Structure 1
Amino acid sequence: MQPVIDYLPLLLQGLAVTLKLAVSTAVLGLVLGLGLALAKISGRGWLARPAFWATDFLRGIPEFLVLLVIYFGGTQVLAQVFGPGAPEVSPFLAGLLALGLIFGAYASETFRAAFLSVPKGQVEAGRAYGFSRWQCFRHIQLPQIWRIAIPGLGNLWQGAVKDTALVSIIGLEDVMRKSQQAAQSTREPFTFYLVAALMFLVITLISMAVIARAEKRAGRGMAEAG
């Protein structure tokens, strides 16, 4: 127990990096996912086809491979463009881009299904009452989209949190890497990897409670609106 207490500040530093990466990934993924979903349902082939191609490609390859391509490939591209002394792609940025792209690819399908589930008649009624497209989207579509999408997005968030552990392979000082450093220093790998697992479990349990509460509030809001 004493080694865990001694290395707890180090582990908490790593946990903060893990949470920062997970939250940043979710924000980027939501923005990308919403944009891709809008492109897919736009009815314009020059927007929809590339969006489908991109998401099919990203969903069809391992996250770890995307991470390696961005980290090593991005650094190589920068070196070729800027020459000697070119900046390198940091582990955090590589992790954010890789996990954010994967999150966005899956989130786009969640958003697309949610968009298609909203009856077109409601939007047409809003337009008949003089609502603009933006007003229809904000007041009619968006509340229903969020209610439908929350469970799927919650699952993606849980996956993103766990996928952050992959980024320790390329040097990110997250909770997994800090646990590895502590394990090597103390020669107690079981202890520190177990602590890391418990940290991820705590994040998961808290996330599940928050997501359940969000689902409940969204359902109650729709009931009141109805």
Structure 2
Amino acid sequence: MPHDLWVLLVDRGWALAMVRGSFMTVAVGALGMLLGLLLGFPLALVRWLKIPVASQAIEAAATIVRSVPGLLVIYLFFFGSVETADAIGSFFGFEDAVQGTYPFVMGVVAIGVIACAYAVEVFRGALQEIPSGLIEAGRALALPRWALYRTIVAPLMLRLALGGLNNVWQSTIKETSLVSVVGLQEVMRISAIAAGITRSPLLFYLLAALVFLAITGLSQFTFSAIERRLNVGFGSR
């Protein structure tokens, strides 16, 4: 049995394929999360400031994204634009490059939009928890608006939002399993291919589960360490 496992995973190269799929999963999740945070913070700021029309539009869009399955979001982004991307690539003569990178790009974009929809509410909730007296004190000191947000609002918001962002990240890394439907070679796609070829589905799906457990476990440890660091001087929450 151990010899058969060695042949299956090492000699046939499936272990290396799983490692590559794991890196793809982390890459899509990390880039999607980064995109979600970059979009989510300014949108949350607009909602916090209650800018007319824009605030309501952002709330409606985020609610719609959170209300539909993540798989549907990926389908809409990928199949809703793939023909246009192919046409542009064909026109400029790099159709093969577009076809090779498009699943990855649209996977990141779709995952980023999903992460953004949740990050908006996390950031908005954290902004609302900042004591108004601290902001008023900054204004009383005649701090410029950019300095007020950089030195008071942003650090306090990050501390208050970190627990929610941990949940968003954990959800995001699991949402990456959905991008396998567009052919991206992440860990679930590799597991499905390996299970079909080797007729060992239990083995490869268990390996995929271990990969996700390792990623989420390490992520939880990292977020907890950062949270302890940010809470120094604030007492327990």
Give the alignment's TM-score, normalised by structure 2: 0.87
Structure 1 window deviating more from structure 2 (195-204 vs 135-144): it is: 135-144
Matched residues in 1 for 2:200 and 2:89: separation? 44
**1:21 and 2:28 equivalent?**
yes
* Offset from partner CA, 1:177-222 (integer Å, 9 cap, x none): 1122222221111101111110110111101100111111111154
Partner of residue 200, structure 2: 188
**Which of 5, 17, 26 is 2:10 aligned to?**
5
Contact between 1:71 and 1:91, CA under 8 Å: does it hold in 2? yes
Amino acid paired to 2:82:
T
Partner of residue 126, structure 1: 138
Contact between 1:103 and 1:160, CA under 8 Å: does it hold in 2? yes
* Offset from partner CA, 1:1-24 (integer Å, 9 cap, x none): 211334211111111111110100
Partner of residue 136, structure 1: 148
Contact between 1:144 and 1:222, CA under 8 Å: does it hold in 2? no
Aligned residue pair count: 222
**Which of 106, 116, 125 is 1:94 aligned to?**
106
Matched residues in 2 for 1:222 and 1:144: separation? 11
Partner of residue 202, structure 1: 214
1:90 alignment partner, SS class: helix
Partner of residue 168, structure 2: 156
1:146 alignment partner, SS class: helix
How many angstroms does 1:56 deviate by?
1.2
Q: Which runs of 5+ in 1 are unaligned?
A: none
Task: Calculate the aligned-residue CA RMSD, in Å.
Answer: 1.8
Q: Which runs of 5+ in 2 are unaligned?
A: none
Structure 1 window deviating more from structure 2 (51-60 vs 194-203): it is: 51-60
Matched residues in 2 for 1:48 and 1:131: separation? 26
**Identity among equivalent pairs (%):** 36
**1:36 and 2:43 equivalent?**
yes
How many angstroms does 1:138 deviate by?
1.4
Matched residues in 1 for 2:218 and 2:232: separation? 21
Amino acid paired to 1:199:
V
Partner of residue 211, structure 1: 223
Matched residues in 1 for 2:205 and 2:105: separation? 25
1:182 alignment partner, SS class: helix
Matched residues in 1 for 2:201 and 2:213: separation? 18
Give every structure 1 segment of 4 or more consecutive aligned residues whose post-TM-superposition deviation is greater than 4 Å: 81-89
